[in-house]
Structure 1
Amino acid sequence: MLRGAQRRLFIAPVNSAGQGYAWARASERVEGTAAAAFMYRDPNDTFGFLADSEVPTVFFRTNRPWQRAQRRAVAARFTHVIVESGRQLFGTDEPLADQLRRLQRHRVAVALLWHGSDIRLPSAHAAREPDSPFRGSGYADTDRLEEIAQRGRALMADVDAPVFVSTPDLLDEVPQASWLPVVVDLKRWEASSSEIRWGAKPIVVHVPSNAGLKGSSLIGATMRRLHAEGLVDYRELRNVPAAQMPAEYGRADIVLDQFALGIYGVAACEAMASGRLVISHVSDQVRDAVRVHTGRELPILQARADGLEGVLRAVVAEPDRFIALAATGREFVRAVHDGRRSANVLREFLGAPAQGGVAGA
């Protein structure tokens, strides 16, 4: 399939939340394009996101013959490469900037793509976000993330390449970037979900996949108290394989996303695609960016951690009003996150003719 395509895109090497694979499939909506997503995978990976090819992390980092062969294969087989998170493409045998310049000398077009903590400066986030996990000493890895984000900025200054970000909040971090929306397979999430029709006690779920960044500790005591009171049936989902998540969301009525970063991403989109009511703290800046770029309102019910109890009591008191809000989530995901808009964003980088309008708008 790659051999006969005019444009051949390689996305690597982390496949965060399965998005490398999802963007590869989205790019194939562009005529004459074939794509492959590659990742290295740890042996304790419980999520199991799909990839076109993968190797164990230790093998990726240490196997010199494989690294040389992979470098030759990518340069020979692909016309375009998107590098995720500033990670080395071919193991650790040389700096990433050298790897990318080598590809460019082989006339391979290169782009950089950032997911979030790989480019978000904790110091800047703490200055603008009252609930930032990076304020004070609450998040143990703040200094490490600051260093990673600074390295990402140095890479962008060192390598002449277009830049993409996966979430609109990162447009403040990287003003020269283009927003490449995350992609969700609507059919997969719709298949496991019926309409929400909660009674007196809705099922509320939260996935503390990175609890320190999501602000899970900010809502834990409140949710346990509301559960004990009988207002809601609260459940935390931990270490659930990706293949099981549609069924888990399908059993829920409300999904609590995150309460510290002020963003929305893959998890919120998956919950909206499932038809669930999503409650989360999404900053005004992010909501404005969505409105400017898509012409649509983000259908996520706003709540900061200290106001979550009041929001949930209002939801339980007026279920019909909020069920109606949840019903708009699928249409938003269909318009912005089903892959059509992402393909259109990638079109210029891939050197494909422009199309009128924006697909999915």
Structure 2
Amino acid sequence: MSPAPVRRTVSAVKRRLPRRWRIALRRAAAGDRPWETPSVRELCELPATTPLLVHAGGIADDRALGGILAALARLPEFHLALVRTDADGAAVQELIRRAGKARRRVHEVPRPRRLTPAFLASADLAVLGFAPEGDQPAPVPAVLDAYRAAGLRIVAGNARPVREYLARHRAGELFVPGSVPSFVKAVERAWDRTAEAPEAAEPTVAPFEAGTPGPWRALGAGPVRLGLGTANYAGQLSALAAAISAARPDVGVELVVAKPPATFRYPADRYLHFPAEHQLDVQLDQIRRVLGAYTHLIVDAFRPVLGRLNGDDVAADLPALRRARIKVALLAHGSEIRHPGAHLERHAESAFRDAPEDLRERLTVVAERNRRTAEESGLPLFVTTPDLLDDVPFATWAPLVVDVDGWACDRPVLERARPVVLHAPSNRWTKGTDRLLPQLQELHDRRIIELRLVEGLPYSEMRRQVQDADIVVDQLVIGSYGTFSCEGMAAGKVVVAYLSEAAHRAVGVQPPIVNATPTTLVKAIESLLDDRAAATALAAEGPGYVRDQHDGRRTAEVFDAFLR
């Protein structure tokens, strides 16, 4: 055999060897020590000139890692090494699959027995998503120490323990978890500073993102300049802005939402990243914008509107708003004003039976504080569900707003022998899910109904699920119907929820909803199936009711006096 075919055969064999063996052969050929642990760059088989990011923290536990993979499409020169344990294999494969065209620049790297500085140092930057859940305290990830020991500048998600760590050590840049533009900018800043000393710059995070303006008239287009902010639960502020703008040609609107970027699902003029509200420059910017531009302001969920350096509720903002002669109204939706103890006394099957004790205590403090703010300020208070009038009887009902036409459906209900019953809790304890689920599961197992329990679906898929259902089961433990019930009625479905009849009589409405609790749910559904004609007639009333009460016209009228 001639030398050329022999060389080609040897090369083919080498390519089939594990990467560690190939690296050892190259080192031996170069006179280096082949037995040393290969670096992360060697395992990726990348030249020293290729920009390399490394992620060596827990793969499955990093809830913001998916956003980092998505951002690679906008960082075309960068490769990413995912250092994984054997248990991370499935999670890594799913992440790489979701990386799309960028997946060729994502490298699986087996984690060595010890995560040494020598192993990591060949990368250019270290990354960490790290998005802790809710208000639960979280420790600083230990991998940050390994990154620093390797001399790597760190690009990390902006969570309090990480932010404090990077500030203390002046070790990196912050981005907003879930925000692709924020991560890209953080990587670019870190790349520009890799040649600087570690203490050259404080960690930073861009506090604002441009919004996606909705169907409302821009601020300044009329004599009334209305600001709205900042919670936007279920997109209700976006819907309210559109409704008021449609009804009042003299009103221009600006909507500012201050939440984590993963929840930026609804239109707004500006998105204020939730952690950035604690920054002084952000607070000063908000003060200039709000006090210098608005004539009217609707404060959502008692959230602060001038940043959080004054505190975590709007009370401390009110003196400045008064001095600026801004007309202020308060808007409440639920737990920020619903008193747990009073609710437990009024309702035998109250949702607060299922709430953890520490949460009940925290919500009690919040509800009492906010009621005190409303009473002492004398500001007009609006609530979006009638049951809240039991807690604040001096408030005014401003009905929830839904896109009636967007949920419309011509699929007939209850024609299937085994009807589809849909339950879609956004928060299980507030819906009574754990109490009602065994009842529905029993009916499903007896093949009386087909149960569909769905959680965390995007808007378009949730709409498809509602339109395909026969019966929509909403909350059975609160006392009023919410957005999901309105959507079910708009789609012409039979809706089951627990209603406080006195509260709804007080506002003059009788929604076409089957009233049930977890205890009476099975009987209610069996009655619907025993008289399908009556149930179908009830469902047919839903679209008309929602159009009359919840398409935004009545809600805009409620705010008329405030906006004069």
TM-score calculated relative to the size of structure 1: 0.91
Instruction: Supply the distance in 2 between the matched residues of 1:218 and 1:140 (Cα, whole angstroms).
Output: 20
- Whether 1:13 and 2:230 are equivalent positions in the alignment is yes
Residue pair 2:389, 2:503 contacting (<8 A) in 1 also: no
Instruction: Supply the distance in 1 between the matched residues of 2:390 and 2:344 (Cα, whole angstroms).
Output: 14
Matches within 5 A, 1:339-350: 339-350=552-563
Give percent identity, aligned residues only.
35
- In structure 1, what residue type is equivalent to 2:310? E
- Give how far 1:130 is off: 0.4
Aligned match of 1:356:
none
Instruction: Supply the distance in 2 between the matched residues of 1:154 and 1:307 (Cα, whole angstroms).
Output: 36
- In structure 1, what residue type is equivalent to 2:278? T
Aligned match of 1:244:
461
- Over aligned residues, Cα RMSD in angstroms? 1.7
- In structure 1, what residue type is equivalent to 2:482? G
Instruction: Supply the distance in 1 between the matched residues of 2:356 and 2:271 (Cα, whole angstroms).
Output: 35
Matches within 5 A, 1:292-307: 292=508, 296-307=509-520
Equivalent of 1:279, from 496, 501, 508? 496
Equivalent of 1:311, from 509, 524, 529? 524
Aligned match of 1:320:
533
- Whether 1:134 and 2:352 are equivalent positions in the alignment is yes
Q: Any idea what the Cα deviations from partners look like across 1:32-89, whole Å, max 9, x if unmatched?
A: 11223221222443x8233332122112x22321221111111222111011111111
Residue pair 1:49, 1:242 contacting (<8 A) in 2 also: no
Matches within 5 A, 1:63-212: 63-95=279-311, 96-135=314-353, 141-190=359-408, 194-212=411-429
- Give how far 1:219 is off: 0.6
- Give how far 1:139 is off: 5.8
Q: What's the secondary structure of 1:174's corresponding residue?
A: coil
- Give how far 1:210 is off: 1.1
- Give how far 1:289 is off: 2.5
Q: Any idea what the Cα deviations from partners look like across 1:263-321, whole Å, max 9, x if unmatched?
A: 1121111111111110111122233124x2xxx42100111211111111121222221
Unaligned runs of at least 5 residues, structure 2 = 1-217
Residue pair 2:221, 2:251 contacting (<8 A) in 1 also: no
Instruction: Supply the distance in 1 between the matched residues of 2:320 and 2:475 (Cα, whole angstroms).
Output: 40
TM-score calculated relative to the size of structure 2: 0.59
- Give how far 1:156 is off: 1.6
Aligned match of 1:268:
485
Q: In structure 2, do the counterparts of structure 1 residues 140 and 320 end up closer, same or farther at CA, with 3 Å as the change threshold?
A: farther
Q: In structure 2, do the counterparts of structure 1 residues 198 and 289 end up closer, same or farther at CA, with 3 Å as the change threshold?
A: farther
Instruction: Supply the distance in 2 between the matched residues of 1:146 and 1:193 (Cα, whole angstroms).
Output: 44
Aligned match of 2:220:
3
Instruction: Supply the distance in 2 between the matched residues of 1:286 and 1:207 (Cα, whole angstroms).
Output: 25
Instruction: Supply the distance in 1 between the matched residues of 2:330 and 2:291 (Cα, whole angstroms).
Output: 17
Instruction: Supply the distance in 1 between the matched residues of 2:375 and 2:525 (Cα, whole angstroms).
Output: 45
Q: In structure 2, do the counterparts of structure 1 residues 4 and 136 end up closer, same or farther at CA, with 3 Å as the change threshold?
A: closer
- Whether 1:52 and 2:264 are equivalent positions in the alignment is no
Bigger radius of gyration among the two: 2
Aligned match of 1:355:
none
Instruction: Supply the distance in 2 between the matched residues of 1:289 and 1:270 (Cα, whole angstroms).
Output: 23
Q: What's the secondary structure of 2:443's corresponding residue?
A: helix
- Give how far 1:140 is off: 5.2
Aligned match of 2:190:
none
Q: In structure 2, do the counterparts of structure 1 residues 336 and 217 end up closer, same or farther at CA, with 3 Å as the change threshold?
A: same
Matches within 5 A, 1:210-229: 210-229=427-446
Aligned match of 1:36:
254
Residue pair 2:390, 2:503 contacting (<8 A) in 1 also: no
Q: What's the secondary structure of 1:208's corresponding residue?
A: coil
Unaligned runs of at least 5 residues, structure 1 = 352-361
Instruction: Supply the distance in 1 between the matched residues of 2:316 and 2:439 (Cα, whole angstroms).
Output: 50
Q: In structure 2, do the counterparts of structure 1 residues 140 and 312 end up closer, same or farther at CA, with 3 Å as the change threshold?
A: farther
- In structure 1, what residue type is equivalent to 2:270? S
- Give how far 1:20 is off: 0.7
Instruction: Supply the distance in 1 between the matched residues of 2:316 and 2:530 (Cα, whole angstroms).
Output: 59
- Whether 1:335 and 2:335 are equivalent positions in the alignment is no
